[in-house]
Amino acid sequence: MNKKQKNVLIRIIAAAALTVALHFVPVEGIWQPALYLIPYFIIGWDVLRKAFLGIKGGQVFDENFLMAAATIGAMALGTYSEAVEVMLFYQIGELFQSYAVGKSRQSITQLMDIQPDSANIERDGELETVDPDDVEIGDVIVIRPGERVPLDGEVIEGVSSLNTSALTGESLPRDVKPGDEIISGCVNGDGLLRVRVTKSFDDSTVSRILDLVENSSLKKAKAENFITKFARWYTPAVCLGALLLALVPPLFLGGWAEWIRRALTFLVISCPCALVISIPLSFFGGIGGASRAGILVKGGNYLEALSATRTIVFDKTGTLTRGVFAVSEVFPAKGVSREQLLETAALAELYSSHPISRSLREAVGAALDANRVDEMREIAGEGLTAHVDNRLTAAGNAKLMKRMKIDFTPCDRPGTVVYVAVEGQFLGAALISDQVKPTARRAMDDLRAQGIRTVMLTGDAERIAQAVGQELGLDEIHAELLPADKVTRVEALLAAKPPRSMLAFVGDGINDAPVLTRADIGIAMGGIGSDAAIEAADIVLMDDDPAKISLAMRISRKCLRIVRENIAFALAVKAACLILGALGVTGMQAAIFADVGVMVLAVLNATRTLGGTK
């Protein structure tokens, strides 16, 4: 409880104690209203002040005006105790609401407490502690065990593991070594790291994430906008209703005091606090719960749209697959060992920077002697030749084998096949493919269970796309597409989608920016630290896990379910209390108690969104 909340609590206790005491003190005449004004001003001076400033600023019809009008009217009617009690109930409700919202914000603040306070910069062989904002690109910083990484950079010395849970929601540490990229916001494990800074603090991952979370409330969902518009028309309407209730019935039935009392009760009941507070809090909590799982949602509007999504379109490389080529199978010729085949192929491709060449070198898993290789020559679209141990070696596709008139055994498995031959003798083939992510199949199964149609768009070959699609059980597959073709396909899917449903596109956030923008919702699998992913998409999955998509959908649906519950509950209770108040069945204390009760229950229900899907 903060200082302001403690002051309100003290005022509530003081006003309540004075009001109870006045019940036992026989006071008559002018002293009675004078004494009741003391607790009334203790508990209600801030409400009266806000009401006055609202009238002065032209913003008349709000909850402060309703409370001020109702309680001043009660005082004028001589129901002094009732006026103080109404203000007491209202302030108790406001205190509870303030505390609940504060706890929710604190939860998210702790969740996103990833901003480093300082950085240890290396200057002239000595360490100097500075503000991260003062560190420049190219500077070398030192990160001790247990410290939070202050800036994005490249490890130049040291081996350690990083705790990325604050960014990805995953507890599994990530190992880093010299040459690896490291991002701000992670916590260093047990190794000392020296890191060369590659991004300024303003452009770092931690700054971008915090900016996204802080600004997410600016993009309101339709339900939030509905409540704002509803309150704008609702409050003047009930004020007019209260005025008519006070003036019209007594013209025919008499009893002016009674009808004015009912009109004041009507005003108190009409306060829309439960809706105005709980609906934004629900979306705020939903965004916070998603962030806790490593899912960044840029606004309540995207969270709401996600709940209505019925079609999800996926890119393949880097989204459903790892986006990293690796040797998946090896087919050595008779009399040739697996190790011999891989080593020969890796040596032949030693000087190539192609991803396929790198995958062959990584498959060997040992240092290669560059002195064994010379006269390397690349043949565009076919492969390359080189002299390995002074013997002509060829490594490439079937076109290269045919051109060199080498008798080889074709391989028809999905993926990229590298055939290897030495001095015209076929040694075998290595199958290189992009590996499907371990969680991709489970992600597709979860989406299918939720009634989601899954589509894959890829620029890869038809044979490879069909193999991946069948492995994952996708509903629709389109291959050999250029970036412009993907946009065309998405537009066709948008035109064919069911009414009032949404279409989401999931890509790597780098080469899929046009499609991410064209879809109803863009979801980036760009990886922690990817600028393009954070900029292009509406939702960012911080750990590239496709299974997080179904989790995000469950969070969004839970959030919207809670919003609808609060709207229905608040409006139903309001309608019933307004009718009972107009008929004189309920008094002002009961009315404000019902109003506060509705607000408390609605706020409690809204805080459930902070728990994600639990």
The pLDDT of residue 614 is 56
Three-state SS at 223: helix
| Amino acid of residue 116 | P
For residue 108, is pLDDT > 80? Answer: no
CA distance 249 to 228: 32
133 flagged as catalytic: no
- Topology of 295-320+437-542 in CATH? Rossmann fold (3.40.50)
CA 508 – CA 456 distance, rounded (Å): 13
Which residue has better confidence, 127 or 106? 127
What is the rounded average pLDDT of the residues 57-64? Answer: 72
The arithmetic mean of pLDDT across residues 407-419, rounded, is 87
Question: Mean per-residue pLDDT for 539-563?
Answer: 87
pLDDT at 503: 93
pLDDT band with cut points at 50, 70 and 90 for residue 137: very high
Mean pLDDT, rounded, for 423-436: 89
The pLDDT value given to residue 272 = 66
Is the predicted pLDDT of residue 18 greater than 70, yes or no? Answer: yes
CA separation for the pair 174, 244 (Å, rounded): 68
pLDDT (mean) for 131-136: 88
> What confidence score (pLDDT) does residue 408 get?
92
- Asked whether the predicted pLDDT for residue 482 surpasses 80, the reply is no
Lowest mean pLDDT among 413-427, 471-485, 567-581: 567-581
Average confidence (pLDDT) over 14-35:
82
- CATH number for the region 119-150+152-198 comes to 2.70.150.10
Point out the catalytic residue in the list 152, 315, 520, 543: 315
Copy the structure tokens of residue 210.
């915090």
CA distance 431 to 413: 8
User: Tell me, what's the pLDDT at 113?
Assistant: 59
Sheet holding 425-436, edge to edge: 321-332, 425-436, 416-422, 391-396, 383-388, 373-379
DSSP secondary structure string for all residues of 100-135: HHHHHHHHHHHHT----S-EEEEETTEEEEE-GGG-
Tens-digit pLDDT profile for residues 307-329: 899 999 998 877 888 877 788 88
pLDDT for the residue numbered 213: 58
CA distance 69 to 242: 11
Domain boundary assignment for the chain: 3-109+217-283+558-602, 119-150+152-198, 295-320+437-542, 322-435
pTM for this structure?
A: 0.67
- pLDDT band (50, 70, 90) for residue 529: very low
Tell whether the model's pLDDT for residue 214 goes beyond 60: no
Contact assessment for residue 475 and residue 455, using Cβ atoms and an 8 Å cutoff:
yes
Asked whether the predicted pLDDT for residue 14 surpasses 80, the reply is: yes
Which tens digits make up the pLDDT trace of 326-340? 888 899 998 999 999
pLDDT of residue 239: 78
**Confidence class for position 231, pLDDT limits 50, 70, 90:** low
What is the mean pLDDT of the segment spanning 358-384?
Answer: 87
Round the average pLDDT of the chain to a whole number and report it.
81
CATH architecture type of domain 322-435: 3-Layer(aba) Sandwich (3.40)
Say what the pLDDT of residue 25 is. Answer: 75
Taking only the tens place, the pLDDT of each residue in 293-304 is 878 888 788 888
Rounded Cα gap, residues 573 and 26, in angstroms: 38
